[in-house]
Amino acid sequence: MPRVTRPPVKAACLPCRTSKTRCDGQHPCGSCSGRNRECSYRPSRRGGPRRGARYEEAQRRPTTVNSLSSISDVADEIEPFLDNMIGLVSPFAGIHNLDLSPDSLSTGDGAHQFWGQFTPHDDSSFDSVPGHDVGSSVIRAYQSEAEIANAYYIYIHPYLPLLPPPAVPQQEDHPAVIRPFGESTQADKSHMPYWPTSSLSLALSAMLVLIPTAEDIFPMAETNLATRRSYGQLFAQAALAAVETETDDLSPGLSPNIPGIESSQAVNALHPQVPTQLDPVLALVVLSIYEYCQRGNVSRMRARGNQAITTAMDISIHRLDSTMTDYSEAQRRAWWMTIWTTYLSSSLHLSPPIVSMHDPRITTPYPKFDVYLEPWPIMMKVQEALFESNKMVQNIERVDETAVLSDFGTRIHKLDSNFVSLVGEADRHLLTTFDGGPEASVAQTMWMISRMLIHAARTRLHRFRAFMDIPLFLDNYCDLAAINSENFPHRSAPKWVTDCEVSFPFTEQESSNICLKSSLVVTTIYRNLPYANPPGSTSSSSSRTYPKTIPYFACSAMQSCYSLLMLLHRLRASLATDRLANCYHMFHNPTPASEIADAERLSEELRHGVEILGRSLKSDVIFEGVGGMGREIEGAYLAAFPNSSEI
């Protein structure tokens, strides 16, 4: 008699998973009943169904494309890819608002419980870790303001330069390793060896506690992730409370020229050249980034940024002039980083900034990194251009028969010309050597980020004309359309698509080429972004898994990944129909004799670009608000290349 093999159950109970015992899926299960132990379940986080018959069928399904010029036919080519992707990627991927989980809506503070169960980027290899329980979670902690400041300059300052250069030599990072007590991932202030003294040090601690320690051998295990999340919220909420207290005590103006202010300056424990009156402003900027990167809450990100702007204007750091020297660098940096963050939140929130950077009330000069080529002007221009690009994208979808199409096309052409000018300006840093000064590497990184954002803004503008917003990812974020299983693929184009074709001043091929070139530039920048490099560190960058960056620019990667994958499927469709001439605009000096080799080279270039973006975002997976993007890119990559290993 043939052996009957039972398929594995959809979910094993926790005790069976921990002991690696086969579970029958009952409640209680047979294994737990026989051992007289408590049997409990929670949903798996492995990212989708197993690769069964449906997956194999999708692999064998032929690609049928009749025309590359219609939306429905391009969608036909992508449809098998989507079948693969749905089985590989969790529907919880993308930008996740931890404050809108079902538990948090009902209880007010239960987001950690819900997302601890359904975190989309939890490594499946950590699903069952023998002996790994809440009590084995570890978090980093610091025992003085000086240690917090030192960690800030290692992990945060390279991507968020809020403070002047360090006042003391940098030391190797030696955080205290805390193992919380009890059976709960809930944060407890009493577990910390030191409690920060200001809103700024509390806000910085909220970011730093998210970074796993070297002793955490399973950093993405569910309990470890939940523990770090809980302590991050504890610090963030304490920082916000401290902001309110400190704001009440602020003097009405911080300028050294205001009589009586000099004597009121207190020495800041984080940096002696930063007046304590700046703490609530800078704390709100940090909390703004925290709300986006960790909590995935764009509305709160914008609220924190707006509060930082109003607090900064209340103490008059927007109206300094070049003759003021005392504290001026700290004040200048605080003001312009606040403006910079506010514009970033405006782009993500699709709402105008509450204060324009061209407001005539602003007289404060840009700060300085003391390098040959200062990035501050381009940093601000790019944020403004990014917002204008997002605003134009909104307008594209609103084009209707009452729109003045000629004017619409003129505005797009003017905006693109501005992007081209900024691209040329941003490229200047490639000819400069940043090898001197305490912040030379920081200046270079900010140049790289600015260059990335302007290319992402241009891609965002042109991708509508190039790809007509065909959905590619499962979740809706970064204004990319999400897949709707009920009506995908589209069989008729939305009216705004037809209007866009008529009014857009670029052809589909021109916009596709722009998306290709800009997306490849973004991948190159992502590959070259620096890891944190603590003094005394001997490990190579390849061994540093978490984190690489402070990923407030993660949408640049998603825009670029979308373009690269869409171009890949268009290329494959052309190969399938023997019409590679339709892709000649993407080749270099193509001929009928070389077109297949050209297509192969381009396919590998597109594949490598997606790999780079996925690997980069995966390194920042500890930030839960945007961490799912890395998983979604990885799922898209595996769906497009099903015989490949993980990124």
pLDDT tens readout for residues 586-638? 998 889 999 999 999 999 999 999 999 999 888 888 999 988 888 888 888 88
Together in a domain, 227 and 333: yes
Together in a domain, 158 and 261: yes
Together in a domain, 35 and 135: no
pLDDT of residue 241: 97
User: What is the rounded average pLDDT of the residues 9-36?
Assistant: 69
Beta strands in 60-215 (DSSP E): 139-141, 176-178
Together in a domain, 23 and 138: no
**Structural domain includes residue 59:** no
Percent of the chain surpassing pLDDT 70: 71
Beta-ladder partners of 176: 141
Residues 512-548: tens digit of each pLDDT: 999 999 999 999 999 999 987 766 565 444 445 578 8
CA-CA distance, 486 to 490, in Å (whole number)? 10
pTM: 0.80
pLDDT of residue 484: 58
**Structural domain includes residue 223:** yes
**Structural domain includes residue 616:** no
State the DSSP H helix or E strand holding residue 446, giving kind and residue range, or none if neither: helix 440-467
Residue 326: domain span: 131-367
Which of these three, 367, 399, 419, is where a domain ends?
367
Together in a domain, 298 and 171: yes
Which CATH number characterizes residue 3's domain?
4.10.240
**What contacts 126, CB < 8 A, 6 or more positions away?**
132, 218, 220, 221, 222
Contact 531, 544 (CB under 8 A): yes
> Bigger pLDDT: 43 or 187?
187
Residue 321 has pLDDT above 90, yes or no: no
Domain count, the chain: 2
**Structural domain includes residue 72:** no
Residue 643 has pLDDT above 90, yes or no: no
**Structural domain includes residue 423:** no
pLDDT of residue 631: 82
**Structural domain includes residue 199:** yes
Give me the count of residues in the chain.
647
pLDDT band, residue 111 (cuts 50/70/90)? very low
Give the least confident one: 103-117, 210-224, 234-248, 475-489. Answer: 103-117
Together in a domain, 270 and 163: yes
Together in a domain, 154 and 272: yes
Together in a domain, 194 and 292: yes
Which of these three, 344, 367, 390, is where a domain ends?
367
Which of these three, 367, 388, 420, is where a domain ends?
367
**Structural domain includes residue 32:** yes
**Structural domain includes residue 570:** no
Give the least confident one: 23-27, 65-69, 426-430. Answer: 65-69
Together in a domain, 36 and 137: no
CB atoms within 10 A of CB 321: 11
Beta-ladder partners of 360: none
Distances (CA, A) of 168 to 147, 150, 326, 496: 11, 9, 19, 57
Together in a domain, 139 and 255: yes
**What contacts 456, CB < 8 A, 6 or more positions away?**
386, 518, 522, 553, 555, 556, 559, 560
User: What is the rounded average pLDDT of the residues 161-182?
Assistant: 88
